[in-house]
Amino acid sequence: MLRAAHGDSAVLYAGGTELLLAMKEGLGSFEHLIDVKTIVGLDGLTLDAGGALGIGATVTHRQLERSRLIREGFPLLAEMARQVANARVRAVGTLGGNLCFGEPHSDPPTALLAHDATVTLHRAADHRRLSLADFVVGPYEPTLAGDEILTSIDVPPLPARAFGAYLKFGMHERPTVAVAAMLVVDERATHVAEARVAVGCVGPVATRLPALESQLSGVAIAALQNGFAAAGSAGTSLDAVSDLHGSAAYKRHLASVFVKRALAAAATRARTAA
């Protein structure tokens, strides 16, 4: 209602880690900031009976990093969260704010894509649910109507025997490439039953690699530990963008290297746990 009253002169504000920097740079100017942190119930983590995780939109990166529920039940998310920017940003920045800002060089979308996460958007009494891919559709471009608010990020239950790894690389404060790999393995942890691989930061939005994922099905874990050859070209089809972080070709190369490393790391975790 506040948003409706003020129109485009108002903007939703949570941690401010992106918004305030943009405003200080003169990239945005708003007469009113509406603090969504004052909405009760948006700052919690919930686990339903089926094992699905709900992350309130104003949960901070630090909460994700330190929560026992996340570290034990969704370790790939904790691994990602503890690598976000620095301790100060993690103490203040929120997961919902991160997704709504839509910065391409950012950690959370990549890891969330590997979890098949969805988001819930509320408007007065109505709500709708979108896949992450349908929510973050372009740089700084969330699918969010003027009077809608992101209330939660929803993560389906992890399959049994799922092992993940999140790797990032960059020479600047923000990541140049981010890779999240999740392997669901057979009972003896010798072969891949299902693979999910997401790459972020190299292009306008983070993306899954469906062709590689289907190639990975049935592959021996030992083969991944030694460096899966097919991953060597994983980056070639990516919609990479040349920017301050490097050329598109460089980023495609980095993506291939880090996909291979992330698969090896996830495979090693699967073997170690077996």
CA distance 161 to 84: 26
**Residues in contact with another protein, shown as a per-residue x/- string from 42 to 81 under the rule CB under 8 A:** --------------------x-------------------
Question: Residue 87's CB: how many other CB atoms inside 10 A?
Answer: 12
CA-to-CA distance for 192 and 184, rounded, in angstroms? 6
Query: Which phi and psi (to 5°) does residue 28 adopt?
Result: -160, 145
Q: How far is the CB of 90 from another protein (least distance, A)?
A: 9
Nearer to another protein, 69 or 89 (CB): 89
Q: Which is nearer to another protein, 35 or 187 (CB)?
A: 35
Choose one: 39-47, 89-97, 101-109, 255-263; the region binding another protein (CB under 8 A).
Answer: 89-97
Q: How far apart are CA 96 and CA 135, in angstroms?
A: 12
- Report the b/e string of 40-65 with b at 16+ CB within 10 A: eebbebeeeeeeebbbbbbbbbbbbb
Whichever of 66 and 271 has its CB closer to another protein, that residue is 66
Residues of this chain, 5-34, that bind another protein according to CB under 8 A: 16-17, 20-21, 24, 33
2 binding another protein? (CB under 8 A): no
Least distance (Å) between residue 226 CB and another protein: 26
For the CB of residue 27, give the shortest distance to another protein in the complex, in Å.
12
Residues between 145 and 174 that touch another protein (CB under 8 A): 173
- CA gap 48, 21 in Å, rounded: 36
Q: Which of residues 251-270 bind another protein (CB under 8 A)?
A: none
Distance of closest approach, residue 130 Cβ to another protein, in angstroms: 29
Please state the closest distance from residue 32 (CB atom) to another protein, in A. Answer: 9
Using a 10 angstrom Cβ sphere, with 0-12 exposed, 13-18 middle and 19 or more buried, the burial of residue 142 is middle
Give the DSSP H/E element, type plus range, for residue 189. none
Dist. CA 254–CA 203, nearest whole Å: 12
**What residues make contact with another protein under the rule CB under 8 A?**
16-17, 20-21, 24, 33, 35, 62, 85-89, 91-92, 173
